[in-house]
Amino acid sequence: MNTIDIDVGGTFTDLVLSYNGEFVFKKMPTTPYDLSVCFLNVIEEASKELDMDTEECLPKVDLLRYSTTVAMNRLIERKGPRLGLITTEGHEDCILIGKGAQWVDGTRVSERRNLAVQKKPEPLIPREYIVGVRERIDSFGNVLRPLSADDVRKKVHYLVDKGVRGFVVSLLWSQLNQSHERMIKKIIREEYKEFYLGYLPVVLASDVIGRSGEYQRTMTALLDAYLHRAMQIELSAMWDKLREYQYGGPFMMVHNSGGMAEVFKTDAVRTYSAGPVAGLIGSYRLAQDLGFRNVIATDVGGTSFDVGLVVEQNVRNYEFRPILDKWMVGITMLQTMSIGAGGGSIAWLNELLGNRLEVGPQSAGSYPGPVCYDQGGEDPTVTDADLVLGYIDPDFYFGGRMLLNREKAEESIKTRIADPLGISVQEAALLIRRIVDDNMGAAIRKEINLRGYDPKDFALFAFGGGGPTHVAGYMGELPESVIFPFSPVFSALGSSVMDIKHIYERSKRFMLMEPGTRKFTSEYQEFNAVVEDLVEQAQKELSGEGLPVEKAVFQLELDMLYGGQVHRKRSSSPVMFIRSPEDVKAVYDAFEQEFSETFSPLVVHPEGGVYVESFVVTSSIPAQKPELPSYELQEADASAARKGARACYWGNGTSEETPVYAYEDLKAGNEVAGPAILEAEYTTVVLPPGFVCSLDKNLFGRIRRVQPGTGGK
Amino acid sequence: MAIMSPEEKLGMLKPAPADEDELRCVESLAPGDYEVGFERMNNILDEAMEVFVRSSRSSMGIAGDSMVAVFTAKGDLANASCGTFLHAVIQPVLFKFILKTYKDNPGIFDGDIWFTNDALYGGIHNPDVVVKVPVFYEGELIAWTGAAVHTTETGASEPGGMPINANARFLEGMNFPPFKIGENFRIRDDFIEVMGAFGIRAPQMVIIDLKARATAADRARRRIVELCREKGVDYVKGILRKMLMVAEEGARKKIRSWPDGTYSCVNFSDGVGLEKGLVRSSCLALKKKGETLTMDFTGVSPENPYSYNAHVQAVVGHISNFVFEYVFHDLPISSASFAPIDFIFPPSSCLNPDPRAATSCAVMISTGVMSGLHNCFSKMMFSSSDMWSQASASQGNAGNAMVLAGLSQWNLPFADMLAYSLNSEGQGGRPSMDGVNAFGFPWCVYGRTPDVEEMENDLPVLIPLSNHWKDSCGHGKYRGGVGTVQIWVAHHAPQVFFMSISDNSKMQTPQPLFGGYAPCTVPGISVVGADIIERMKSNAEDFTLDPFHMLAEKTVSGQWMHEFFARATRAFQKGDVITFGFATGGAGYGDPLERDSKLVIQDLKDQMISDWTAENVYRVVYDKSTLKLDEQATTEARDAERKARLDRGKPYDQFEKEWMEMKVEDSILKFYGKWPTGEVVNPVIRM
């Protein structure tokens, strides 16, 4: 099968084209004014590599997958439609109160400490477009106050008169009883036929997400409504162009849950952070191929350093409180951690703390970018430090398509860092690098330690444009790091190995174990009926999309908690249905294990009883697994790939003439000892003294620490 | 006995001077070592904090109202990861007490686990429980780590850990001075039984939280030992000492930048325990000279025969909340930041009571101090070139705590302090913007409110109303953030028990700033035999969930009760309105007549203020149906009000003379002390 995977990032658009068993990797600048331009540019570049033009290439492609965070980034621009929110009377301010300290969401710890400057985010729907209607459903799903249709009509008219052109309906407990939300939608449709005012979309929160927690449920529905139209326009533009080029296959969109679906069936909120998640999934697949049980996947971009964990060949770790931009939502999203550290991170002196050198979290971004980009940037960055140290060739950055200004980078580091600290420019550059590397190393340690694992049991995958450049600095005590020829486009590669996956959720409280007696439930039918419903829903949707239902793999996950506690944990059920006490016990045992790993064994409390809060069924159509190219191992000597040498600074007061190798000329079995530089089109591998890089049979670089002077032996 | 005097405790807050070994370790740090080591220490503490939150059981623990910290071998706080800063700077007292008193017997060894919750020996109040462990490396004591979080059960005379009727420490349940509860990294089983027995109203919660504290402190200890192995013990000792040096230097530098002078503010509360009466809960004269500060609280009311007293270090803990949030927000959380600050607390006062005093509601009496700090520091910083924007009016600082107990709809016993009203108080107005609405919990600003669905799912209550509380803010050029209001109705269970804690109901403790107004008062309102559920079911046309309308028109039938917000434990039956749950607003900044009239219109659109307020406080003229502003008429109305103010005014000498002759009624001076100075009249006798 021929496939194209595209990841549109803030700075670069990455592509992986798999064509008749051959792989093409491409990277092009993102065109924020119109994403369909970079989307097609990168396809055109890749087609050229196969001696075709786009018209010739696209019809031969069977599947196109796409991931982007750009759509969600547009949230910041606040250019969504004017929406009205209809909620339960007495609860109109829910999204404005935002669980109190809403100003914390989406901020770093260091940004939160100064209370004098904090603000809540500008609401996506201001208070005057929020109405409460007379109705109430209670916590058991019973109607306590019937819906007043007259009240709904009056308030809908008010909203439309105010200029509202779309509705989000989110009522308390609608996930248990949808009747009132559905009645409101019906009333809106009765009142405003399409031919009056054009189409007024109505999004019901209970349709978007079936989980309890009114703030997160409402925000999820609201974001979906807010972004839906912009995404539709953008995707339609791409889709139209693909059709013009006679592309006839499916167009899939990567989700942050780790799966994907047809672009036009994708909720906008599921696309946020899809790039790092795709990278994590790619790591998961490669870990299986390479025989690693535990992997820490790291992605060094321009502004952020993303970290994800593969543990025991599994990636089932979900965000506790997923935040999209500034908003807490209720979607199921794979956990990746991000800190403000990357090539564009700015180095600065904290005067208050005795001129302490700090790097990030502020970033120079892609514009003006690092000083060496010569686009007006004045603040020294990590990329400037790498250049000053000699690690990056100013004439070979981005394959030589972007010339860097080394003098300006030196001047900036000198005046802003080196002179105030009384050290040389090169020492200052090395210090910048050391600090950013250590920040990244700390993020890794934290991620592994927090989950109770030992870093020594993990291999590290380094990707993103800056991964290979910094991995030797941030791998810390991890025994081995792996870099890939496709490291700079890893996220796009990740999506190529993702399953087509849908998630179906329903909130329902179900007692699995009785409090006090610890007696397991015998109400099997009540449990199984919910699962059967969800599976049926999944099957209908898969067949509606023309996907092979018979190949679908279903899995049950349960949000569970102990009675009297508030910690909820999503646990993977070993059985789809319960039909015996053994099945129930198996469900409980799996929950207890995951619960104690996530929280603490101290909090395990079966005496309080055990409850299921939500049922989650996932349906997956497994992706085709591409074969990794394999080569015969050759001798260790890599001198054939050596392209020259240049002065690099590694400490010790003077620069050292350091050999430079062309990565594409290295052969399987070659071994390069640091200090050395390995240059590829889109990245530079930096090997300081004391490190060695061996190329395995797949041409993946295995970096490990050795005693200086001993080479790889 | 080795009980420390207040002066000894305050002395122990100061960092011990660096010894030769520490200075050698600092000297040995290479360029970049400190930066990297500081971040490494932050990460160690953040990791331990995360483990702490995940391992906790009580609402406070889960909300992150807690702290994990690292201390030098001498017991000085080097750095902390905080949900609340309250616990951080005062803990050196505990460590220094242990080092001084128990060094030889029972001795301090690797694997020890120490415990305390007794405010007399250095804590905030007895629900705040601290576990601490020594960090040994190759036989040398190189540091300590500690973990603290509030527990909601102490086996006191009332549930919830903060008995309002306790008249001496003897009614407060457990009060343990620092002592060893574990050896060889294990908590003793007999002590776990002791904790369970004291926490018998909710033993599971108390025991799990105890283990969570030990787990968190030990996690930090283990990581520090690993760091010693990796980088060497001198590196770790050097980093810890340098943190103290940097924190102190940073604090002194900031203080130097403000003008010398004395800045003052008085704050009041109007009730202690279940009794009403005026209390001068803070009377702060903040003296700034050079790079030092002195906080003189002479003039506060005497100690009272309830639990609304705070030992001196507990007051300093409350001071650290404000200082680390608004003033030293960019410095390490270290007790050395407080090295340039001295304190004066009058003896036998509510901020420096007798050792036998009950102090479990120390957090309530300290609201005066928290509020007064805003005013004094703001006046001081306002004229500085780089910190004027940190000046801000006081947060709500009410801490109206409400406890529910009983048997839930899931047949489970429960007793817990609910987080909603605590975590949604308003912030004070600021020099260029309003305070944040429903900002957070002043004692732990990062804590979150639960969802209504979460509350209704876990507890036998229906919450028909949960919105911003209109007009609850202090008004001003930049108004305070508004708080929130909920209604709790007993639901799904035949009976629910309720109690609430407060120290102001008829007047607000926070003082406004630079001509702003104080926030509104907080009444205790409930309706017994209420028909609210029937009214909702019948969907009566005249029934709305607008709290103003409900209160003004009494749209719910039943016996309405208007009381002081603090109420003793009582039972409510199914369908009763248990309470209106109020979270107070923040204080106002600047004259309301200077508020941009467009912001007033926006407030009306956002339903933050009423028409009455817009017309009578802000003097804005507009069309009530369209909210269209009449700028000309507004200017005239404001000019008229300014003129009226002048007409109402009087010469300062005349004002002062009249003011000095004024006196409140004797009937509310029971807890005030001598009028007007607040000195002790009748000492409290406790047997």
Q: At what angle do helices A179-191 and A149-161 cross, to 10 degrees?
A: 50
Element (H, E) at B429: none
Judged by CB atoms closer than 8 Å, whether chains meet at A446 and B433 is answered as no
A712 falls in which pLDDT band (50, 70, 90)? very low
Which one is predicted more confidently, B644 or A199? B644
Per DSSP, B410 falls in state T
Q: What is the pLDDT of residues A570-601, one digit of tens each?
A: 888 999 999 999 999 999 999 998 887 777 67
Instruction: Quote the percentage of chain B above a pLDDT of 70.
Output: 100
Q: From chain B, pick out residues whose CB is under 8 angstroms from the CB of A212.
A: 451, 453-454, 457
What is the overall mean pLDDT for chain A? 87
Helix (H, G, I), strand (E, B) or coil at B522: coil
Query: What count of Cα atoms within 13 Å lies in the side-chain half-sphere of residue B645?
Result: 11
What is d(CA A188, CA A192) in angstroms, rounded to the nearest whole number?
6
pTM for this prediction:
0.86
State the count of interchain CB pairs (< 8 A) between A and B: 231
Q: Is residue B346 pLDDT above 90, yes or no?
A: yes
Q: From chain B, pick out residues whose CB is under 8 angstroms from the CB of A137.
A: none
Distance from CA of B419 to the nearest CA of A (A): 10
Judged by CB atoms closer than 8 Å, whether chains meet at B539 and A565 is answered as no
> What is the pLDDT, as a whole number, of residue A196?
60
Span B477-492, average pLDDT = 97
Are residues B672 and B277 in contact, defined by beta-carbon separation less than 8 angstroms? Answer: yes
Range of A10-24, B38-52, B454-468 with top mean pLDDT: B454-468
Judged by CB atoms closer than 8 Å, whether chains meet at A600 and B215 is answered as yes
Q: From chain B, pick out residues whose CB is under 8 angstroms from the CB of A567.
A: 54, 62
Q: From chain A, pick out residues whose CB is under 8 angstroms from the CB of B253.
A: 352
> What is the pLDDT, as a whole number, of residue A69?
66
Per DSSP, B449 falls in state P
What is d(CA B481, CA B499) in angstroms, rounded to the nearest whole number?
26
Instruction: Quote the percentage of chain B above a pLDDT of 90.
Output: 77
CA distance to A55, A663, A681, per residue, from A25 (Å): 19, 14, 10
Q: Is residue B585 pLDDT above 90, yes or no?
A: yes
Judged by CB atoms closer than 8 Å, whether chains meet at A100 and B447 is answered as yes
Q: From chain A, pick out residues whose CB is under 8 angstroms from the CB of B424.
A: 97, 100
> What is the pLDDT, as a whole number, of residue A709?
46
Sheet strand arrangement including B275-289: B261-272, B275-289, B292-296, B341-344
- CB of B192 less than 8 A from some CB of A: no
Span A248-259, average pLDDT = 84
Residue with tokens 């809960």: B281
* Nearest CA-CA partner of B503 in B583, B422, B428, B399: B399
Minimum mean pLDDT among A330-344, B40-54, B117-131, B574-588: which range? A330-344
Q: Is residue B412 pLDDT above 90, yes or no?
A: no
Minimum mean pLDDT among A85-99, A119-133, B396-410: which range? B396-410
Distance from CA of B176 to the nearest CA of A (A): 23
What is d(CA A521, CA A523) in angstroms, rounded to the nearest whole number?
6
Q: What is the pLDDT of residues A131-183, one digit of tens each?
A: 999 999 999 999 999 999 999 999 999 999 999 989 999 999 999 899 999 99
Cβ neighbours for B299, distance < 8 A, ≥ 6 positions apart: B266, B280, B283, B346, B677, B678
Q: Is residue A197 pLDDT above 60, yes or no?
A: no
What is d(CA A677, CA A348) in angstroms, rounded to the nearest whole number?
27
Q: What is the pLDDT of residues A383-435, one digit of tens each?
A: 999 999 999 999 988 777 788 999 999 999 999 999 999 999 999 999 999 99
Q: What is the pLDDT of residues B25-41, one digit of tens each?
A: 999 998 778 888 888 88
Residue with tokens 């420490």: B169
The angle at the Cα of B665, spanning B663 to B671, to the nearest 5 degrees, equals 100
Q: Is residue A711 pLDDT above 60, yes or no?
A: no
The alpha carbon of B256 is separated from its chain's Cα centroid by a whole number of angstroms, namely 28
Residue type, A671: E
> What is the pLDDT, as a whole number, of residue A451?
65
| B2 C-beta neighbours (distance < 10 Å), count | 11
Element (H, E) at B272: strand B261-272
What residue of A is the nearest CA neighbor of B491?
A138
A279 falls in which pLDDT band (50, 70, 90)? confident
Q: What is the pLDDT of residues A640-666, one digit of tens each?
A: 999 999 999 998 888 999 999 999 899
What residue of A is the nearest CA neighbor of B407?
A564
Helix (H, G, I), strand (E, B) or coil at B524: strand
A320 falls in which pLDDT band (50, 70, 90)? low
Distance from CA of A667 to the nearest CA of B (A): 36
Q: Is residue B238 pLDDT above 70, yes or no?
A: yes
Distance from CA of A240 to the nearest CA of B (A): 42
Q: From chain B, pick out residues whose CB is under 8 angstroms from the CB of A431.
A: 31-32
What residue of B is the nearest CA neighbor of A608?
B412
When CB atoms are compared, the residue of A92, A118, A598 closest to B467 is: A92
> What is the pLDDT, as a whole number, of residue B642?
97
Span B523-531, average pLDDT = 96
Distance from CA of A162 to the nearest CA of B (A): 11
Judged by CB atoms closer than 8 Å, whether chains meet at B453 and A97 is answered as no
What is d(CA A385, CA A435) in angstroms, rounded to the nearest whole number?
11
Q: What is the pLDDT of residues A356-392, one digit of tens each?
A: 888 887 778 766 789 999 988 899 999 999 999 999 9
> What is the pLDDT, as a whole number, of residue B25?
97
The angle at the Cα of B272, spanning B267 to B275, to the nearest 5 degrees, equals 125
Reading the block at residue A668, the tokens are: 């399987």
Q: Is residue A11 pLDDT above 80, yes or no?
A: no
Are residues B551 and B475 in contact, defined by beta-carbon separation less than 8 angstroms? Answer: no
When CB atoms are compared, the residue of A212, A357, A608 closest to B457 is: A212
What residue of B is the nearest CA neighbor of A607?
B204
> What is the pLDDT, as a whole number, of residue B541?
79
When CB atoms are compared, the residue of B40, B440, B487 closest to A101 is: B440
H and E: helices and strands count for chain B: 18, 20
Reading the block at residue A567, the tokens are: 């910690």
Give the DSSP per-residue string, A625-691: -PPPP------S--GGGEEEEEEE--STTS-EEEEEEEGGG--TT-EEESSEEEE-SS-EEEE-TTE
Q: Is residue A710 pLDDT above 50, yes or no?
A: no
> What is the pLDDT, as a whole number, of residue B383?
87
The most distant pair of C-alpha atoms in chain B lies apart, rounded to whole Å, by: 80
Sheet strand arrangement including B186-187: B77-82, B66-72, B140-150, B128-137, B113-116, B179-183, B186-187
Distance from CA of A541 to the nearest CA of B (A): 30
B119 falls in which pLDDT band (50, 70, 90)? very high
B109 falls in which pLDDT band (50, 70, 90)? very high
Helix (H, G, I), strand (E, B) or coil at A94: helix
Q: Which of residues 426-455 of B touch A (CB under 8 A)?
A: 427, 430, 433, 436-441, 445-454
> What is the pLDDT, as a whole number, of residue A597?
74
Judged by CB atoms closer than 8 Å, whether chains meet at A352 and B254 is answered as yes
Are residues B514 and A125 in contact, defined by beta-carbon separation less than 8 angstroms? Answer: no
Q: Which of residues 375-404 of B touch A (CB under 8 A)?
A: 389-392
Q: What is the pLDDT of residues A474-502, one digit of tens each?
A: 998 888 999 988 877 787 888 877 888 88
When CB atoms are compared, the residue of A421, A602, A605 closest to B215 is: A602
Span B632-642, average pLDDT = 98
> What is the pLDDT, as a whole number, of residue A671?
95
Give phi and psi for A67, each to the nearest 5.
-130, 145
Judged by CB atoms closer than 8 Å, whether chains meet at B536 and A96 is answered as no
> What is the pLDDT, as a whole number, of residue A452?
63
Minimum mean pLDDT among A396-405, A679-688, B229-238: which range? A396-405
Which one is predicted more confidently, B528 or A706? B528
What residue of A is the nearest CA neighbor of B485?
A90
- CB of B208 less than 8 A from some CB of A: yes
B330 falls in which pLDDT band (50, 70, 90)? confident
Distance from CA of B450 to the nearest CA of A (A): 6
Residue with tokens 């991931």: A67
> What is the pLDDT, as a whole number, of residue B570?
92
Q: Kindly report whether the peptide bond that precedes residue B106 is cis, defined as omega within 30 degrees of 0.
A: yes
What is the overall mean pLDDT for chain B? 93
Span A295-309, average pLDDT = 86
A198 falls in which pLDDT band (50, 70, 90)? low
What residue of A is the nearest CA neighbor of B450?
A99
Distance from CA of A322 to the nearest CA of B (A): 15
